[in-house]
């Protein structure tokens, strides 16, 4: 079993939902956890909730992950504190446009790619750069989506970014594997979060998903966290470049 007491994990999009659930499990396991999201207030509230559960308060670092310069500044701040991240969860994502591709505007397209792809890549690169310099191994998990593995009407741009993230996972696994850095991805289905509220809270959309899903329901954030911990841990030492669906059997339908 993995000893998390000497591990430092950074989770993006950690102020709520799947990101907070992952950070909670990491903190309970004994890792030093760094919560990253755009707004200080949301991070502080998440840190309070995690502290009540785990007994250890995570560090909080506000950062707009859609801006590479902000990510660089984040890691310079961690450098100044002597902190080296060896477990990264790229969970932050955005989906500003829900509708047919014909109606997509470039501003929404660019924002989605900036956060979901460019931000995830730069976070991973900053982590890997420091691990390689320290001759230290580590693990990265990218949170993709089942929509990166199939057509996604009305969510086309979001799906494109998740397909790109799956491809990026495979490439980085090959490029950094020799340095002892593993890169994997998970592909959640519909999960009850604020991010997915437009679908979860719409009876018609929710019914379409549940009818196809083998388990006939959507998931909860806590049901995603365990898989991420496994992929980050030494128990998954022979896994890299994989994308693991966690969707209640939706893709099996």
Active site amino acids? 158
What's phi and psi for 34, nearest 5 deg? -115, 120
**Cα separation, 134 vs 84, whole angstroms:** 9
**What are the C-alpha distances in Å from 155 to residues 80, 100, 129, 197?**
40, 8, 33, 14
In angstroms, the CA 61 to CA 31 distance is 16
Q: Single out the residue of 221, 249, 245 nearest to residue 50, CA to CA.
A: 221
Residue 181: which residues within 8 A CB-CB, separation 6 or more? Answer: 128, 131, 132, 137, 138, 139, 140, 172
> What angle do the packed helices 17-29 and 222-232 form, to 10 degrees?
50
Cα torsion through 218, 222, 225, 227, rounded to 10: -50
Residue 188 and residue 222 in contact, taking contact as beta carbons nearer than 8 Å: no
CB atoms within 10 A of CB 14: 32
Bridge partners (DSSP) listed for residue 244: 186
């Amino acid at each position: 079993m993995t000893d998390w007491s000497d591990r430092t994990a950074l989770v993006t999009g950690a102020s709520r939902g799947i990101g907070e659930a992952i950070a909670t499990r990491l903190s309970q396991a004994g890792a030093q956890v760094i919560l990253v999201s755009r707004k200080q207030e949301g991070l502080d509230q998440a840190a309070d909730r995690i502290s009540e559960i785990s007994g250890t308060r995570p560090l909080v670092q506000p950062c707009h992950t859609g801006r590479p310069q902000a990510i660089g500044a984040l890691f310079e701040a961690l450098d100044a504190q002597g902190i080296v991240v060896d477990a990264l969860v790229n969970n932050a994502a955005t989906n500003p446009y829900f509708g047919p591709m014909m109606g997509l505007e470039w501003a929404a397209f660019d924002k989605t790619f900036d956060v979901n792809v460019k931000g995830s890549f730069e976070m991973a690169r900053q982590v890997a750069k420091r691990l390689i310099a320290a001759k230290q191994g580590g693990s990265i998990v990218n949170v993709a989506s089942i929509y990166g593995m199939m057509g996604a009407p009305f969510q086309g741009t979001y799906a494109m970014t998740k397909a790109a993230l799956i491809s990026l996972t495979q490439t980085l696994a090959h490029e950094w594997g020799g340095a002892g850095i593993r890169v994997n991805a998970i592909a959640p289905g519909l999960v009850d979060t604020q991010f997915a509220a437009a679908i979860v809270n719409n009876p018609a959309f929710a019914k379409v998903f549940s009818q196809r899903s083998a388990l006939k329901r959507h998931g909860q954030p806590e049901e995603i966290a365990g898989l991420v911990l496994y992929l980050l841990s030494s128990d998954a030492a022979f896994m890299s470049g994989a994308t693991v669906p966690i969707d209640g059997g939706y893709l099996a339908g």
